[in-house]
Amino acid sequence: MTRANEAWESLMKAYSVLMKQFNAEDIWGDLTMREYDVLYQLSKCDSPLRMSELNRHVLLSQPALSRMVDRLVERGYLDRCPDPGDRRGVRLTLTPAGRETQRQIGRPHARSVTRALNVLTPQELEQLAVITGKLSQSEE
Amino acid sequence: MTRANEAWESLMKAYSVLMKQFNAEDIWGDLTMREYDVLYQLSKCDSPLRMSELNRHVLLSQPALSRMVDRLVERGYLDRCPDPGDRRGVRLTLTPAGRETQRQIGRPHARSVTRALNVLTPQELEQLAVITGKLSQSEE
DNA sequence: TTAGAGTAGATGCAAACGCATTAGTCATCA
DNA sequence: TGATGACTAATGCGTTTGCATCTACTCTAA
Identify the pLDDT of residue A46.
85
Q: Report the distance separating Cα B54 and Cα B60, nearest Å.
A: 10
CATH 3.90.1530.10, applies to B25-135: no
Give the nearest partner residue to A129 out of B6, B120, B125, using CB atoms.
B6
Computed from CA positions of residues A21, A31, B32, A65, in that sequence, does the dihedral angle turn out positive or negative? negative
Question: pLDDT tens, position by position, for chain B (140 residues)?
Answer: 899 999 999 999 999 999 999 999 999 999 999 999 999 999 999 889 999 999 999 999 999 999 999 999 999 999 999 999 999 999 999 999 999 999 999 999 999 999 999 999 999 999 999 999 999 987 64
Instruction: Count CA atoms within 13 Å of residue A4 on its CB side.
Output: 14
Q: Report the distance separating Cα A47 and Cα B5, nearest Å.
A: 23
A81-108 pLDDT tens trace: 999 999 999 999 999 999 999 999 999 9
Q: Where are the domains of chain B?
A: 25-135
Helices (H), chain A: 3-24, 33-44, 51-57, 62-74, 96-117, 122-137
Residue from B71, A45, A10 nearest A1 by CA: A10
Question: CA at B9, C1' at C15: how many angstroms apart?
Answer: 28
CB–CB contact B10 A58 (8 Å): no
Q: How confident is the model at residue A138 (pLDDT cuts 50, 70, 90)?
A: confident
Write down the CATH number for the domain with range A21-137.
Answer: 1.10.10.10
Chain D: nucleotides below 7 Å from protein CB are 7-12, 16-20, 24-27
Chain C: nucleotides below 7 Å from protein CB are 6-12, 16-20, 23-27
A65-76 pLDDT tens trace: 999 999 999 999
